């Protein structure tokens, strides 16, 4: 594996003084008897453990993947130890806001956790740094066969497999059913057939409520601040003929004329009053509060779990127990697809996040590597996966998870289930063919140029044309004249 300890510019300022997790566990020579996995009551389909095995600790850095996910950490650790008495799973919780900072600090110190939860699109960065652990030779055939093939492909880079997927969902939009119906929007048709940007723009105008020059409800609000700063543009451009940062010829795609069209469309929705002028300050929390309090008809990005979150808030309102979001109203959440741009076909933004394996400065032993794989598989399959995905309202992607979920109940709107299924059929495919160096360069360009320019565009400080030229110039400097799309 190519080892480069290059620190990306976007994380240079991070302090290395933060306490890092113990890297890659620790082994001792203590032996103890362990039961065969054929008696595994958790249905995680793990391979047999030898009767004599050394004690080992596997560390994991995990954010709040689902609303109740982190509440289950003690039980996860207990269940894993019951399955493997010689192994200890030590979980460190992190918020979504500080997850990347914690992980990068530990990676840069050469002492990352054994497992970290992250988006599949970020794998190339750590492969390029030489810190992601290829588990191809340690993952058993039984483990591999448990997963649906499509999401598993997202955890690959080149010929290597770097972890197991937790779920495969699509980034969608979410609508308030009452407001959609009052605006005369046929959301059921849109759920199945999609909509163009021109149609979308006219529909969100219908959702705006203004009086005396003051807007009390917008047609559309998308979180663009904080951890969501990359989401807005990256989701939209997929539906503009750019499903990945590189085309099939490995040319950087965001120099396409369609990229400029998306930038223009982003700005026009603010200029015509369909979105707030203060959009650049809307983070994920504010976006969701605006939706629950009736300040917007449509919100983004939306995942299936938002329906569950809305339902739970509705229950709190009904119970009048004071725990509901302040000022919130009952909301029936409707899943909606992202509109298409520039006459392109729908290519839903697939989100595959999962449990990625890491290595420290030293190559881990074969035994420890196998233990890391057991822990990653434990988290991504069986009871843990079924519980997490049901909490997320996400589809199950393992046979073992589907089996466990049979005894669990989920109250989902069938129209939303059908809408997600329709979008998954158009989901952009995995791109393990993108070389790690190109992937790392694209992430660097996004962090240093695209995100700050997008913030300036949304704030009205620069024009779409100015942002496009800045991205194009930086792309040519990074990938060369022949390494970018010219159309």
Average pLDDT, the chain: 88
Query: Between these two residues, 56 and 124, which has the higher pLDDT value?
Result: 56
Q: Find the mean pLDDT for residues 218-231.
A: 91
In terms of phi and psi (left: phi > 0; alpha: psi -120 to 50; beta: otherwise), the region of 342 is left
Domain ranges of the chain: 9-169+351-424, 170-349+434-483
**Average pLDDT over every residue of 182-209:** 97
Q: What is the pLDDT of residue 440?
A: 86
Span 446-461, pLDDT tens digits: 999 999 999 999 999 9
The CA–CA distances, whole Å, from 60 to 50, 90, 205, 217, 368 equal: 23, 6, 46, 42, 14
341 φ/ψ angles, rounded to the nearest 5 degrees: -125, 150
320: left (phi over 0), alpha (psi -120 to 50) or beta: left
CATH 3.40.190.10 assigned to domain 9-169+351-424? The reply is yes
Task: For the chain, give the number of residues.
Answer: 487
Which of 190, 179, 189, 187 has the alpha carbon at shortest distance from 219? 179
Is the torsion defined by CA of 38, 40, 43, 46 positive or negative? negative
Segment 96-124 shows an average pLDDT of 93
Q: Does residue 11 surpass a pLDDT of 60?
A: no
Question: Which range (163-177, 181-195, 403-417) has the least confidence?
Answer: 403-417
In b/e form, how buried is each residue of 318-338, taking b as 16+ CB within 10 angstroms?
eeeeeebbeebebbbbbbbbb
Output the pLDDT for position 52: 60
The pLDDT assigned to 395 comes to 85
Task: Indicate if the pLDDT at residue 144 is higher than 50.
Answer: yes
CB under 8 Å to 358, separation ≥6 — which residues? Answer: 24, 107, 112, 113, 114, 115, 116, 126, 131, 132, 133
Q: Is a pLDDT exceeding 50 seen at residue 43?
A: no
- Is the predicted pLDDT of residue 227 greater than 70, yes or no? yes
Confidence tier at 16 by pLDDT (50, 70, 90): very low
pLDDT at residue 435 is higher than 50:
yes
Q: What is the DSSP letter of 42?
A: T
Domains 9-169+351-424 and 170-349+434-483 share a fold: yes
What tens digit of pLDDT does each residue of 365-376 get? 999 999 999 999
CATH number of 170-349+434-483: 3.40.190.10
Query: Between 209 and 429, whose confidence is greater?
Result: 209
pLDDT in tens, 395-415: 899 999 999 999 998 888 999
Q: Tell me: the pLDDT tens digits for 254-291?
A: 999 999 999 999 999 999 999 999 999 999 899 999 99
Rounded CA gap, 263 and 242, in Å? 13
- Kindly report which listed range (28-37, 134-143, 173-182, 406-415) carries the lowest average pLDDT score: 28-37
C-beta of residue 243 within 8 angstroms of C-beta of residue 429 = yes
Percent pLDDT > 70 in the chain is: 89
**Least confident segment among 51-60, 71-80, 165-174, 397-406:** 51-60
Q: What proportion of the chain, given as a percentage, has pLDDT over 90?
A: 75
User: Quick one: pLDDT at residue 305?
Assistant: 84
In this prediction, residue 53 has a pLDDT band, given cuts at 50, 70 and 90, of confident
Q: What is the pLDDT of residue 9?
A: 37
């Amino acid at each position: 594996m190519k080892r480069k300890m290059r620190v990306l510019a976007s994380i240079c300022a991070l302090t290395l003084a933060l306490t890092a997790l113990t890297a890659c566990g620790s082994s001792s020579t203590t032996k103890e008897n362990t039961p065969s996995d054929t008696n595994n009551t958790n249905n995680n389909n793990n391979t047999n453990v030898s009767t004599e095995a050394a004690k080992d600790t596997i560390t994991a850095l995990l954010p709040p993947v689902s609303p109740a996910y982190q509440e289950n950490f003690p039980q996860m650790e207990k269940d894993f130890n019951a399955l493997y008495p010689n192994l200890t799973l030590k979980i460190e919780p992190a918020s979504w806001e500080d997850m990347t900072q914690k992980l990068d600090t530990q990676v840069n110190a050469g002492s990352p956790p054994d497992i970290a939860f992250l988006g599949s699109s970020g794998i190339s960065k750590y492969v390029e740094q030489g810190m992601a652990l290829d588990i191809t030779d340690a993952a058993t055939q039984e483990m591999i066969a448990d997963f649906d093939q499509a999401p598993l492909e997202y955890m690959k880079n080149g010929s290597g497999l770097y972890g197991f997927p937790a779920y495969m969902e699509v980034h969608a939009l979410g609508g308030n059913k009452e407001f959609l119906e009052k605006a005369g929007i046929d959301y059921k048709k849109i759920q199945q057939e999609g909509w163009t940007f021109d149609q979308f723009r006219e529909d969100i105008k219908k959702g705006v409520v203004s009086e005396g020059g003051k807007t009390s409800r917008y047609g559309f609000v998308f979180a663009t601040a904080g951890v969501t700063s990359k989401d807005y543009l990256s989701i939209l451009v997929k539906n503009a003929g750019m499903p990945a940062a590189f085309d099939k010829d490995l040319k950087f795609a965001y120099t396409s004329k369609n990229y400029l069209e998306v930038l223009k469309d982003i700005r026009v929705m603010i200029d015509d009053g369909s979105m707030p002028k203060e959009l650049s300050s809307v983070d994920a929390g504010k976006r969701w509060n605006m939706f629950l309090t009736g300040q917007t008809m449509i919100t983004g990005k939306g995942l299936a779990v938002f329906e569950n979150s809305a339902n739970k808030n509705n229950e709190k309102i009904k119970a009048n127990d004071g725990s509901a979001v302040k000022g919130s109203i009952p909301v029936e959440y409707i899943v909606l697809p992202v509109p298409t741009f520039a006459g392109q076909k729908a290519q839903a933004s697939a989100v595959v996040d999962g449990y990625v394996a890491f290595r420290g400065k030293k190559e881990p032993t074969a035994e420890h590597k196998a233990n890391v794989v057991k822990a990653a598989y434990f988290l991504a399959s069986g009871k843990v996966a079924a519980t997490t995905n049901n909490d997320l309202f996400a589809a199950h992607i393992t046979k073992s998870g589907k089996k466990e979920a049979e005894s669990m109940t989920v109250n989902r709107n069938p129209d939303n289930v059908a809408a997600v299924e329709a979008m998954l059929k158009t989901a952009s495919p995995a791109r393990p063919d993108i070389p790690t160096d190109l992937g790392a360069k694209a992430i660097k360009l996004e962090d240093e140029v695209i995100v700050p320019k997008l913030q300036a565009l949304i704030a009205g400080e620069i024009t779409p044309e100015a942002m496009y030229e800045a991205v194009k110039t930086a792309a040519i400097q990074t990938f060369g004249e022949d390494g970018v799309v010219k159309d």
